[in-house]
Amino acid sequence: MKFKTFAAFVGPSLFMMILFIALPLISVFIQSFYVTQPVFEQVEIETCTPGFPQPVCVTEVKSQPIIGEDGKMQTNTYFAGLESYRNVLELDRVAEAIGNGSWSELMSIDFWKALRFTLTFTLLTLPLVLIVGLGIALAVNNAIRSVRGPVIFISLLPFIITPIIGGLSIYWLFIGDGILTSAMEWWSGTDISMFTQAWTFELMMMFYRVWHVAPFAFVIFYAGLQTVNQDTLESAIIDGASRWERLRFVIVPHLMPLIVFIALIHLMDCYRVFEEIVAFKSQSYVISLQWLTYDFLTPDDAGNRAISRASATAMLTMVGIVILLILPLKRTWRDHKGSH
């Protein structure tokens, strides 16, 4: 392919990636080293209480932000180096918690609490998504043709639903007097409160993630099953291989590139878990790194945002994603080199 033809195809995508991905990342990285704070001034304020014959007056010195001529609060931006990262990581408290051998103290630090849930959520849902997706693909592939269409349509419904709507639907089924909670209370004869502990939130959010993403894995695996060498499968059957052995030694090795691809997509997407936190309203019990970034960007009562700490958290999240992708990328690179 000529360079001009290659550039014509790749150029627009590359430009959009630089404009909407690379440049924002560079901006966030730079902002993580700068802190913007409002400028305050000391003002004497006299308050008087009604009295007779003389009122009682008290003079106090208070700090208040300086308002500019444009009616906006004046701010000062300065280079803070790694201060925002230190404020987010709180390594002094981490060392103290480790020294005391207290897991609860460590989990009281927002970043490490969010990191623990994000890693747990990502690494536990990944194998479940792969297993459920492959199971559905095998079931549909072995089903008779007359039922494949309806089964495929029903299997894809969870993936079509908007994530926040799907999360709210699951949440409403169990919260308070939800349909499923009421059914379990009727069956067990005891009052059930599904969302009073952190582990129930995590369990339901993992269930929702697998329910929502497994159809994506199913579509990829089902397409891959259509390319399995039938001669190899027939040879395995003739040699007496069981169904499990055919799956393990023929089908799974053939689908391994697709397994790595799904793992890459899942790790990148799941590590940025956010919709589940909002839909299940778990902020008081469970938070994620992405939600922590959002929380830093939420204005406080004075309208201030912790942009520097939000940027630091976003960059630390990116570092985590890169670390998780190392093994799948190494496998992809090894397979690519082996094919040449």
The pLDDT confidence band at residue 301, using thresholds 50, 70 and 90, is low
Q: Which residues pair with 321 in a beta bridge?
A: none
Among residues of the chain, what percentage have pLDDT more than 70?
Answer: 96
pLDDT at 114: 93
Distance of CA 220 to the CA centre of its chain: 22
**Quick one: which of 142, 139, 337, 336 has its CA closest to 257?**
336
* Claim to verify: residue 269 and residue 152 sit in the same structural domain: yes
What's the structural domain count of the chain?
2
In a domain? residue 95: no
Separation between Cα atoms, residue 7 and residue 13, nearest integer Å: 10
* Claim to verify: residue 234 and residue 119 sit in the same structural domain: yes
The pair of structure tokens assigned to 64 is 């208040």
In a domain? residue 70: no
In a domain? residue 57: no
* Claim to verify: residue 27 and residue 107 sit in the same structural domain: no
pLDDT at 303: 65
In a domain? residue 276: yes
pLDDT in tens, 169-206: 888 888 777 788 888 878 887 777 777 778 888 998 99
Residues 309 and 296: beta-carbon distance below 8 Å: yes
Range of the domain at 285: 103-338
Q: Any idea which residue has 């199971």 for tokens?
A: 135
Q: Any idea which residue has 């639903």 for tokens?
A: 161
Residues 221 and 258: beta-carbon distance below 8 Å: yes
* Claim to verify: residue 202 and residue 296 sit in the same structural domain: yes
In a domain? residue 63: no
pTM of the model: 0.83
* Claim to verify: residue 146 and residue 288 sit in the same structural domain: yes
* Claim to verify: residue 3 and residue 107 sit in the same structural domain: no
Average of per-residue pLDDT values in the chain: 85
* Claim to verify: residue 224 and residue 113 sit in the same structural domain: yes
Residue 233: is its pLDDT beyond 90? no
pLDDT in tens, 253-263: 999 999 999 99
Residues 6 or more apart in contact with residue 296 via CB below 8 angstroms: 305, 306, 307, 309, 310, 313
Residues 126 and 270: beta-carbon distance below 8 Å: yes
In a domain? residue 150: yes
In a domain? residue 173: yes
Domain harbouring 280, CATH code: 1.10.3720.10
* Claim to verify: residue 208 and residue 303 sit in the same structural domain: yes
* Claim to verify: residue 5 and residue 109 sit in the same structural domain: no
pLDDT in tens, 21-40: 889 889 999 999 988 877 77
- Name which residue leads in pLDDT, 202 or 59: 202
Residue 226: is its pLDDT beyond 80? yes
Separation between Cα atoms, residue 120 and residue 197, nearest integer Å: 16
Q: List phi, psi (to 5°) of 284.
A: -75, -15
- Name which residue leads in pLDDT, 254 or 59: 254
